Amino acid sequence: MKKLIIRSAIYFLILYILSILLRGFNAAPSILIGGAVVLALFNTLLRPLLNVLALPVNILTLGIGVILVNMLTILITNGIFEKISITGFWTYVAIAISIMIADGLVRNRKMEKRLS
């Protein structure tokens, strides 16, 4: 549960900053909170399964398939929260890459704590 709350908070910060910076991404902060929680749930529960299904694409594209999986979870979240407006392919790519980087930083931070 703690992991989900931390992940939701990180996703909210990322989504909030990107909603300010990107022209094709608009949403109220109150809507982004719900979107961040749903995105954290999908990334915790659904993304591992999608990563396994996308493994052949990941092998062929040398890991770019991970971005496509992230884009899919963002697309599903956007479908649930219709008040989040995301327009354009590159907007989805920017959000997916930002979330991928944040997840990587969180995972590396956990690994550092385990090693020390």
Tokens 């884009």 belong to which residue? 71
Flag whether pLDDT at 104 surpasses 80. yes
Q: What is the pTM of this model?
A: 0.82
For the chain, domain boundaries: 2-115
Whole-number pLDDT of residue 27: 87
Q: Is the dihedral of CA 69, 43, 10, 19 positive or negative?
A: positive
Whole-number pLDDT of residue 12: 93
Structure tokens at 64: 């770019």
SS3 at position 14: helix
Whole-number pLDDT of residue 26: 87
Q: What is the pLDDT of residues 1-49, one digit of tens each?
A: 788 888 899 999 999 999 999 888 988 888 999 999 999 998 888 888 8
